[in-house]
Amino acid sequence: MRKLPRNQWIEFGFWMFFTISAFALTFGFDREVNMYKFGAAGWPRIIIAVVFFAALGQLLQSLFKAEDPDEKSATDVVSEETHEPLGINMWLMLGVPLVYALTVESLGFYFTTPFFLMAYLYLTGERRLGFLIGVPIGIYLFLSILFTKFLYVGLPTGNLPGFYGFGTWVVEILQ
């Protein structure tokens, strides 16, 4: 078992606090839903559990991974591959999800998500065109089908003309 830096413990603590708090909040809207046997809090609890166990798995993997003196952090790799100053890349990594969160309600999940995923994948250092297109489309289709067809959860279709039409068209195709 190796010693982890303080920032990894802080990050793990943040995710544990976030998931436990989010789980506790689901009891405020846990009501029976006729069409869905798990109730209104069913799918949020599943997503919260996935985040919880992903954070726990990442911590355990880091703890029990053999030490490698040549190992670089993710920020070192991204800044070397993109040849950009780390500060700019860091602000972009924080800014892209913020822009996505601010626009997803107006432009809709079905329009903005593929562009967000491509942009974020590019910022993490991916440059192969096939991956920049294929991976976001795969994630987009998986999430769209999961929420629309299996969980019966309405994702934002957008409220601006054109974007709303596109979002509802995608939902009709998926149902």
pTM: 0.56
Calpha distance 114→159 (Å, rounded): 18
Q: What is the pLDDT of residue 156?
A: 86
Cβ neighbours of 170 (radius 10 Å): 19
- Which long-range contacts does 133-139 make (Cβ < 8 Å, 24+ apart)? none
Cβ neighbours of 124 (radius 10 Å): 14
DSSP 8-state assignment for residue 148: I
Calpha distance 170→175 (Å, rounded): 9
Is-contact 174 150, C-beta < 8 A?
A: no
In terms of C-beta density within 10 A (0-12 exposed, 13-18 middle, 19 or more buried), how is residue 32 classed? exposed
Q: What is the pLDDT of residue 76?
A: 52
Tens place of pLDDT per residue across the chain (175 aa)? 778 778 788 888 888 998 899 888 888 877 776 666 667 777 788 888 998 999 899 889 888 876 665 665 554 554 555 555 455 666 787 788 888 888 988 999 999 999 999 998 888 888 899 999 999 999 999 998 888 888 777 788 889 999 999 988 988 888 7
Q: What is the pLDDT of residue 106?
A: 92
Which alpha helices (H) appear in the chain, and where do they start and end?
6-25, 42-64, 74-82, 86-107, 109-123, 129-145, 163-174
Q: What is the pLDDT of residue 142?
A: 92
Cβ neighbours of 60 (radius 10 Å): 11
Cβ neighbours of 138 (radius 10 Å): 11
